[in-house]
Amino acid sequence: SIAESNNSIKVEGVFDHNETIKSLDGIENFGGYSSDLFKDASAIIAIGDNQLRKTVAKTIDHSFGKLIHSTSVIDRLSSIDVGSVVMHNAVIQRNTKIGKHCIINTSSCVDHDCLIGDFVHVAPNTTVCGGVTIGSGTLVGAAAVIIPQITIGTNVVIGAGAVINQDIPDGATVVGNPGKIIVK
């Protein structure tokens, strides 16, 4: 639906190993990935799992595009790197940098001056306040809130609805309000 919202983007095909999927919304599934098909097309990896998305990205020979839904709002001084997807009604404010292969999911807000690492997933209805840094591979759960000027490490899992009011080290799992580290 993101591609459909941008009339200039045509989806040429889908690569999915699941042979029971013959097509996706009328778009043919060509099975496992082939670098020989659609050589001039840009690719997007439509996998929500950050680590799996990273693994698959290493196997793709196509150049990567990005998908930005027409209802999203992105400040002109923010940047979004290749492979990233910005979903319906997401907001990305001024001077924010979104890394490669990120998902900024439905109705999420990433405020000003944030740095979002590669392969990050910001789940639906999440609020990332100004000046926040999120390390690569991190999942920020649905409706989580990260207060201003917080640094989140790499490969962190922040639970749905968590309120993060302290810096979080690499590899931690955080849940609750206020957020408590339950795994280091």
- What mean pLDDT do residues 108-134 have? 98
**Radius of gyration of the chain from its Cα atoms, rounded to whole angstroms:** 17
Mean pLDDT (whole number) for 128-134? 98
Collect all residues with Cβ–Cβ distance below 8 Å to 142 and sequence separation of at least 6. 105, 123, 124, 125, 126, 160, 161
Whole-prediction pTM value? 0.94
62 among known catalytic residues = no
Q: Which listed residue (17, 69, 112, 121) is catalytic?
A: 112
| Of 103, 124, 114, residue with least CA distance to 78 | 114
β-strands 27-28, 115-116 pairing: unpaired
pLDDT digits (tens, 9 = 90+) for 21-77: 998 888 999 999 999 999 999 999 999 999 999 999 999 999 999 999 999 999 999
How much is the pLDDT for 7?
74
Q: What is the pLDDT of residue 85?
A: 97
